[in-house]
Amino acid sequence: MLDTLPLLNRLDFPPIRRRALETLQVNLTYQCNQRCLHCHVNAGPTRTEAMSDAVIADLYQVLDAHSVKTLDLTGGAPEMHPRFRDIVRHARAEGIEVIDRCNLTILSEPGYEYLAEFLAENKVQVSASLPCYSRDNVDQQRGDGVFERSIQGLLQLNRLGYGKPGSGLELNLVYNPQGPSLPPPQAALQADYKAHLQEDFGIVFSQLFTITNQPIARFGSTLASRGQFNDYMQLLRDNFSAANLPGLMCRNTISVDWRGHLYDCDFNQMLDLDMPIIAKDRPHLRQLATQTLEGLPIATRDHCFACTAGQGSSCGGVIS
């Protein structure tokens, strides 16, 4: 993908370096029960890539060796990995916060009826994709019937206490724009979400995170096929804000793919841009258990402008 899409070069984005490691974002599998237009992972029902037991053992070693505060589990649908529950239990036993990046429809898939209660019992933070509070917009981006199943998933989580003040169960929603545009102001959109979901369905949630679409993988290919890629890249460049550089998530987060290889972020993982650390082989979890990365450079390309445009963008929403 790096070679087939224009303008993804190495020169323009300012150099940045790592701070202390706080978060491991682990891509357990590319398998997913959905196939969304904006998905930068190209996940779907036919993908078979999944983390092996040997790599999971390496993951446990890193969690034990480093002062990792958060284990961020993603995919695909991370819950479809057969060891998902084991990994969650291990991290929680170590006092590590766990985030499940949930697409909501997995909660109603046959064989996953246990999932919502398991997440609540282990106080897993749920970060759920819901690109709009409108049925038509959600189904257009994520597939027919997804909105209805997403609403049912949110109601199920609410019944368990998720999103309710004082419950200790955090439920955050994630918004992606429908097309080649920047997200609207996060605070105003959050207020709209809360009002509409409460009025229409009685749904409550903790926070809304707005995330800028990355010009890579499935979304990048769609832009290129429509002749919109260059215009979108120019939009990201024109809205660059240096004030967002200190808060970039890649500065304290490491992305791990299903093979255990290390990347500066999930987007670099999809572009196969290795972390620029000194190693004989490709950077791997096995090396991370004994290595400190603070102060090392971060691999950047033009797609990094998506994280620094406007309000900024991270897996935790806006930066500034």
Annotated domain spans of the chain: 23-308
∠ CA 39-228-305, rounded to 5°: 65
Instruction: Say how many C-beta atoms besides its own lie within 10 A of residue 148's C-beta.
Output: 14
Which residue(s) pair with 175 in the sheet? 210
pLDDT digit string (tens) for the chain, length 320 residues: 334 444 445 458 999 999 999 999 999 999 998 766 556 666 788 898 999 999 999 999 999 888 899 999 998 899 999 999 999 999 999 999 999 999 999 999 999 999 999 999 999 999 998 877 767 666 666 666 788 999 999 999 999 999 999 999 999 999 988 889 999 999 999 999 999 999 999 999 999 999 999 998 778 888 999 999 999 999 999 999 999 999 999 999 999 999 999 999 989 998 989 888 766 578 899 888 787 788 999 999 999 999 999 999 999 999 97
d(CA 201, CA 213): 28
CATH no., domain 23-308 = 3.20.20
> Is this prediction's pTM over 0.75?
yes
Which of 36, 214, 34, 215 has the alpha carbon at shortest distance from 141? 36
